[in-house]
Amino acid sequence: MSDQSVYVDQIVCARIPTNWGEFRLCLYQNDKDEKEHLAFLFGDVECQENALVRVHSECFTGDVLGSTRCDCGEQLEASIVAIAENGSGALIYLHQEGRGIGLLEKLRAYNLQDIGYDTVEANLALGHQADLRDYSVAAEIIRNLGIKSIRLITNNPAKIEDLTQHGIVVTERVSIEPTIKPDNLEYLRTKVTRMRHMLNMPELISTTQHEGD
């Protein structure tokens, strides 16, 4: 069922030629927050069943600067490539930096991580929840695009659960395996051991997991 408390409006779409083919970029406004969210579309997705979809939260450091502290930029590019190779699909780009805490607090969290906190502990130490992201606007954008059901590119079960609660039919999870690097190893391990991310990488399972995880 649609979340009647959220209304989205597609303001404008424009043609975006890329190295992977021609996309359309659509900008959305909504009545839940003051942010502008985006849909990056390849091919015709209207009325499509099992559309290939990525719901991606903004990560300036990873998406734009190429930071290897996380796997966000890698996920973004891999999703765009997968959608293009599929022949159609949508990437919903949500402006909710740092799992919803914003860039300022994210940089502060990075500094805490550099002295030993993991990504969850850093957010909590700054007075935030581990993950403040909300996918209700993404669900309404998917509905606005006329997509009937989706194959969701994600490793995060919470994203599937949230979208499902907002009435989106997720028929399949499409995994997206990251490249393990020295600077993202502990970040990825925390995703697996503390945030339930589904990564088929035994090397990420630490023998020193937090009790109760």
What secondary structure does DSSP assign to 142-211, as a single string? Answer: HHHTT---EEEE-S-HHHHHHHHHTT--EEEEE--PPPP-TTTHHHHHHHHHHH------GGG--TTPPT
Q: Is 54 a catalytic residue?
A: no
Active site residue 44: no
Tens-place pLDDT, residues 55-98: 999 999 999 999 999 999 999 999 999 999 999 999 999 999 98
Provide the whole-model pTM.
0.89
The single residue of 133, 151, 162, 189 carrying the catalytic annotation is 133
Would you say residue 203 has pLDDT above 80? no
Catalytic residue among 118, 131, 151, 189: 131
Q: Which residue has the higher pLDDT, 195 or 161?
A: 161
Report the CATH number of the 8-96+134-179 domain. 3.40.50.10990
Residue 178: its pLDDT value, please?
A: 87
pLDDT over 80 (residue 213): no
- In the chain, count of helices (H) and strands (E)? 7, 7
Encode pLDDT of 95-106 as tens digits: 999 888 999 999
pLDDT, position 204:
62
Q: Per-residue pLDDT tens for 108-130?
A: 999 999 999 988 999 999 999 88
